[in-house]
Structure 1
Amino acid sequence: MYSSFKRLLIGRPLKTHELGEQKLTKLKALAILSSDALSSVAYGTEQILIVLATISTLAFWYTIPIAIGVLFLLAALTLSYRQIIFSYPQGGGAYIVSKENLGINPGLIAGGSLLVDYILTVAVSISAGTDAITSAFPILHEHNVFIAVMLVIFITILNLRGLTESAAVLAYPIYLFVFALVMLIFVGMFKIATGQVSPQLHTSIGTPVAGISLFLLLRAFSSGCSALTGVEAISNAVPNFKAPAAKNAAATLALMGFILAVLFSGITFLTYWFGIAPKGNETVISQIAAQTFGRNFLYFFVQGTTALILVLAANTGFSAFPMLAYSLSRDKYMPRMFSIRGDRLGYSNGIIFLSIASILLIIAFKGKTEHLIPLYAVGVFIPFTLSQTGMSMKWLREKPKGWIGKLAINLIGALISFLVLAILFVTKFHQVWFVIIFLPIVVYTFYQIKKHYSAVGEQLRLSKHIEEEIKGNIFIVPVAGITTVVDRSINYAKSLSDQVIAVYVAFDKEDEKKMELQWAELNNGVRLVTLYSSYRSILHPLCKFLETIQAKATEKHYMVTVLVPQFIPKKRWHTILHNQSALLIRARLLWQKDIVVSTLPYKFKK
């Protein structure tokens, strides 16, 4: 039943050689890896206006030079990550770049920041999309958390079905959103060009504004840089592209950067020209659409696609998180389960982990994750800064052909990213201070995982030292009475060794004597040891006995094997009708040093 349900949800398992069929084309990759970056257009300009509004509406003309600064940083990041794609086609993005050029600690900081950021991407995007849905249908508002969780589960299932299937489903909403905004920008520009929009709605560029300061402008710039979240996702997922992977990934990144630049600059210009001010109950996109189209079908088309992409922006996290977790797992900084491909050839453990973490975040914050957005931005600009710095160090060290131009691109990107990061910390420290505590914990966890794998490897590695030869085996068989199962287990142990001991734990003296008499009558040639338990515990006296046997066996170079008899009911629900003593014994003895634990099952026929 479980297998059938699983097949229904995620489809039939794929063979390993079908991996090539799960690679992404440029158009599908653009949809599945760019949703986060493109969706940020919906709130990037608004974040700038919110800061400027603290001074005056006269200051809104500053959105134009600030937007130019954001576009400049976008160009620097796009060119930089293009260089990363060709330099590190195995994927990993900022983590690999920082680790190889700046050292392990910067690499782990970049990797940890991105992992947390992808979890926040899912939680914030889904919550924002849910808010858009419940705003349209207020009756659903009290079910915000439930709707958000269902949306996460839906996107999780899509991703578990494989990259190509999820891309095929998600491509339509992404391209519809791009079409809707391009149409909005085109019609808005047409109305401006034909004089249908009054020039009195906005202040002229260069108008003096009392109270404006460089600090406030830098703060507005850093807020506007939230439009750049998700730019790095393509560099993390290069192995998911069809061959030639690096070339296709670079082309996709360039196309994403171009579309993002067009949409962001268009929306910013319309916002300025229409004199749009931020409102608590209506987004900037909604106001532009209302002034451009009126409250008609086209308005609702723009709003609907915007709400849809805000939900689907979470898919960038589902695409990039498993690949980054794979890179960390490959280097033994994360559990090996993240390096295993699932039935549909995706890194399903990473997808499921991301889903659970984001659901827990949504539930913990009751679907209101707005105050996590500053953390979201910090989580992006830490790896931005480290990756740009890392690439700068790479060009300085290697000095390949044209390295000065490459160095200039990365150095400018590093300086601007660091500036944005510093401003975020200074202006929003009360919201982002948690990063200072949380990131060291994440890095410490990475090191502990690495330490464990190193210790395991050291202990499993073959050495020239030859262990003492094992001369024999002592079988210990815990018994609960005289039964067919016990008799079969004793005979099996005797076939493997001439040293077999049966052990019975009694809870009262009368029961102990009764068992000894029954065993003597059985006369099977095996010694019975009865242990008395004053506190009705089987495990404690058995473990104490095994310690004694183990000490003597070690002196004579013998192994100790505990053979646990266990009967298996015909129907699974019958299991709850019986004590699980065999299960408890096995679980406890697995931690006992130098003792082999074996199970002999006996299946009932009725």
Structure 2
Amino acid sequence: MYTTLKRLLIGKPLKTNALSEHKLSKRKALAILSSDALSSVAYGPEQVLIVLATVGAAAYWYSIPIAVGILILLIALILSYRQIIYAYPHGGGAYIVSRNNLGETTGLVAGGSLLVDYILTVAVSISAGTDAITSAFPSLHAHSVLISILLVLFITILNLRGLSESATVLSYPVYLFVLALFILIAVGIQKVATGQIPATAHEPMGHWVDGVSMFLLLKAFTSGCSALTGVEAVSNAIPNFKDPAEKNAARTLMMMGVLLGILFSGITFLAYWYGISPKADETVVSQIADETFGRTPLYYFVQGTTALILVLAANTGFSAFPLLAVNLATDKYLPRMFTIRGDRLGYSNGILFLSIASMILIIAFKGKTENLIPLYAVGVFIPFTLSQTGMIVKWIREKPKGWQWKLVTNFVGAFITFTVVLTLFITKFTHVWAVFVFLPVIITMFYKIKHHYINVGEQLRINPDEQTPPIAGNVVIVPVAGITKVVENSLKYAQSIGDYVIAVYVAFDRESEEAMQEKWKEWQPDVRLLTFVSQYRSLVHPIGRLVDFIEDKAEDHNYQVTVLIPQFLPRKRWHHILHNQSSLLLRAYLLRTKNVVVSTVPYHFKK
């Protein structure tokens, strides 16, 4: 049943040598890796207006110079990450750059921040997509969390089916969204140019508004910078590109930057010119589309594609999180299970972990996008700042040809992103204070995991100076619950592998003990039987004490002790719950506490 359902949802397993066939072209990569950045156009300009609205509609004109500042930062980031792609063609992004140039701990800060950011990417994108759906269909507002959870499950299944297949599906909504916003911006500008949207709809630019301070403008700027999240995803995913991977990745990054700049500028301008004010139950893009097209099919086309890309923007997290987890796991900071490819050649453990973590966040924050965005922005701008700083160190240290211009680019990016981080901490501390909790916890976890792997390596490493004495024989202990075919089968196997075979029976009263001794003498007189009475009705502890005693004696003669556990297996899985699971408890106890071989002898029922 499980296998059938898995094949239905995920598909048939792929051979490892088919991996090269599932690399991404520039067209597919642009869709799958830029969906997060492009989708942020749907809420980035809105976040600026939400801050300015605290002063009043007269302050909305400040959104234009703020947008110019965000575009300057976008240019710096695109140029910087283009340099990172060529400097570190094996991927890893901010984590690798920070680790190699700023040190191990700094690299882990960047890596930990990005891991959390990708979880937030999924949560924010899905929540924002749900907002777009409920804006068009207000009756669904009460079911926002449920809708979000179902959408996460859909994206998870899509990614478990494989990178190439998910990219094929995702490319259509992304490009439809770009087309929809280009139409919206073009028609909106045409209406502005022809006077259909009068200049009286908005406050004139250039005048100072009472209540506006530099602090408020910085707060609005940092809120709008949420539109730049996802820019680093391409640099993390270079291994997923077709050859030449770094060249294709760089071109994809440039195309993403151009599209993001045009769409962000267009939406910000139309929102200002139309005099749009943010509303709790309708997004800014929805209001612009309504003003431009009315509630016509074009309006629903814009809203539908916006909802789709906001939902599917979560796929950037699903694409980048597993690859970053692979880099951290390769360096022994995360469990090795993150390096294992699944049936469809994707890193399925990373995908499933990301899915579960993002659903927990959505439920915890009740699907409220505005509560997640500040933490989301901090999670990405910390790695932005560290990667820029790391590249500055790299250029100063190596001084390649033309390094001065590269240094200037990274310095500008580092200065602006550091300013954004400081402003976020100052202006939205109540939303982002959790960074000071989860980052130290995550970094501590990284070091503990690596320390464990180092200890494991030391204990597994063969030392030629240490001579292990040969095993002289094998003492086999067989716990028995009665005289059955299962026990008979186990004893035969024990006699085939052991020099000494000892059967052990634990009774709960004297009468049962004596009865078992009599039956055993008649049935297996050649096999030694040890019996115990457990006053507390425990099987585990009496057998454990016996194992300790025999292990001490066997060690003196270099004998190995093996505990052979008989176990019958019902034909149907649900039958297991009808039987005592004492063999599983005994096995778990012995493996955890004793230095003995523990083996199970199965006996399969036929009906």
* TM-score w.r.t. length of structure 2: 0.97
Deviation at 1:192, TM superposition (A): 2.3
Q: Which moved more, 1:249-258 or 1:178-187?
A: 178-187
Alignment-mate amino acid for residue 243 of structure 1: D
Deviation at 1:264, TM superposition (A): 0.7
Change (3 A) 1:402 1:512: same
Change (3 A) 1:365 1:273: closer
- Distance in 2, Cα, partners of 1:272 & 1:468: 82
In structure 1, the gaps of 5 or more residues are none
- Distance in 1, Cα, partners of 2:215 & 2:605: 78
> What residue number does 2:488 align with?
487
Q: Deviations over 1:271-291 (max 9, x none)?
A: 222232323333222222222
- Distance in 2, Cα, partners of 1:281 & 1:145: 15
Change (3 A) 1:211 1:131: closer
> What residue number does 1:563 align with?
564
> What residue number does 1:530 align with?
531
- Distance in 1, Cα, partners of 2:351 & 2:16: 19
Q: Which residues of 2 match residues 306-455 of structure 1 at below 5 A?
A: 306-455=306-455
> What residue number does 1:584 align with?
585
> What residue number does 2:596 align with?
595
- Distance in 2, Cα, partners of 1:497 & 1:299: 79
> What residue number does 2:83 align with?
83
Contact 1:94/1:384 (<8 A) preserved:
yes
- Distance in 2, Cα, partners of 1:58 & 1:126: 32
- Distance in 2, Cα, partners of 1:49 & 1:72: 19
Deviation at 1:131, TM superposition (A): 2.5
> What residue number does 2:467 align with?
466
Q: Which residues of 2 match residues 10-409 of structure 1 at below 5 A?
A: 10-409=10-409
Contact 2:201/2:273 (<8 A) preserved:
yes
- Distance in 2, Cα, partners of 1:496 & 1:436: 58
- Distance in 2, Cα, partners of 1:480 & 1:59: 82
Alignment-mate amino acid for residue 185 of structure 1: I
Number of aligned residues: 606
Q: Which residues of 2 match residues 537-576 of structure 1 at below 5 A?
A: 537-576=538-577
> What residue number does 2:478 align with?
477
Change (3 A) 1:233 1:512: same
Q: Deviations over 1:272-312 (max 9, x none)?
A: 22232323333222222222223322222212211221111
- Distance in 2, Cα, partners of 1:42 & 1:523: 79
Alignment-mate amino acid for residue 276 of structure 1: I
- Distance in 2, Cα, partners of 1:146 & 1:77: 36
- Distance in 2, Cα, partners of 1:68 & 1:168: 34
In structure 2, the gaps of 5 or more residues are none
Deviation at 1:89, TM superposition (A): 1.5
Change (3 A) 1:288 1:523: closer
- Distance in 2, Cα, partners of 1:365 & 1:53: 24
Q: Which moved more, 1:568-577 or 1:411-420?
A: 568-577
Q: Deviations over 1:486-525 (max 9, x none)?
A: 2232232222233111111111011111111112223442
- Distance in 1, Cα, partners of 2:52 & 2:601: 74
Q: Deviations over 1:142-195 (max 9, x none)?
A: 322222111111111111111111111111111111111111111122222233
- Distance in 1, Cα, partners of 2:85 & 2:532: 67
Deviation at 1:220, TM superposition (A): 1.3
Contact 1:40/1:228 (<8 A) preserved:
yes
Deviation at 1:566, TM superposition (A): 1.5
> What residue number does 2:521 align with?
520
In structure 1, the residue corresponding to 2:343 is in which secondary structure?
A: coil
Alignment-mate amino acid for residue 570 of structure 1: R
Alignment-mate amino acid for residue 49 of structure 1: L
Contact 1:115/1:321 (<8 A) preserved:
yes
Deviation at 1:249, TM superposition (A): 0.7
Deviation at 1:413, TM superposition (A): 0.6
Alignment-mate amino acid for residue 560 of structure 2: M
Q: Deviations over 1:445-484 (max 9, x none)?
A: 1111111111111111111111122211111111111222
User: Percent same amino acid among aligned pairs?
Assistant: 68
* TM-score w.r.t. length of structure 1: 0.97
Q: Which moved more, 1:124-133 or 1:433-442?
A: 124-133
Change (3 A) 1:120 1:16: same
Alignment-mate amino acid for residue 23 of structure 1: K
In structure 2, the residue corresponding to 1:301 is in which secondary structure?
A: helix
Deviation at 1:42, TM superposition (A): 1.1
Alignment-mate amino acid for residue 123 of structure 2: A
Deviation at 1:410, TM superposition (A): 0.9
Deviation at 1:95, TM superposition (A): 0.8
Contact 1:477/1:489 (<8 A) preserved:
yes
Alignment-mate amino acid for residue 322 of structure 1: P
Contact 1:58/1:207 (<8 A) preserved:
no
Alignment-mate amino acid for residue 3 of structure 1: T
Alignment-mate amino acid for residue 510 of structure 2: K
- Distance in 1, Cα, partners of 2:591 & 2:454: 22
Alignment-mate amino acid for residue 487 of structure 1: E
Alignment-mate amino acid for residue 416 of structure 1: I
